[in-house]
Structure 1
Amino acid sequence: MWQKYCLRPLSQLQIRSVHSSLCVVKTEEEFKVLEGLSLTIPCHYEPQYASHVKYWCQGRTKEFCTTLARTDDTSSDKVSIFDDPAQQVFTVTMKNLKEGDSGWYICGVEIGDMWKADDITFTNIKVIHGMSVLHSSVSGEEGSSVTVECLYSERYRESEKKWCRSGDWSSCLLTGSEGSYEDTSVAISDDRTGAFTITLKKLQMRDTGWYLCSAGQQQIAVHVQVTPQATTAVSMTFPPAPQQSVVYLPPPKAITKDSWSSDGHMLEPILVCSSLMLLVGLAILGRKLWKLHKVDPVLRQVKDIKARFNEYPGDVGDLQSATVVFINKDSQDVY
Structure 2
Amino acid sequence: MRFYSLISSLILSVFLLFISGSESVRTLKHLTVRRGGSLTVPCLYEKKYKSNRKYWCKGEHWISCRIVAYANSSNTGISVTDHPSQNMFTVDLKNLQDSDSGWYWCAVEIGGYWTPDDGDSVYLTVSSDPAVWVENSTVIGQEGGGVSVQGYYSSGYENEEKKWCRVKDWSCYPFQNSTVNISDDKNNRSFRVEMIGLQKSDAGWYWFSAGDVGVTVHLTITNTSEGEISVEGAQQNETMLAFFITAGLLLLLIVLGLVIWKLHQRGKLATSRGSDNCSDDVLYNNVVTRSEPEKQPKEVAPTDHESRVIYSAVK
Q: TM-score range by the shorter chain?
A: 0.3 to 0.5
Could you say which structure has the larger radius of gyration? 1
**RCO higher in structure (CA 8 A, sep ≥6):** 2
Which structure: greater helix fraction?
2
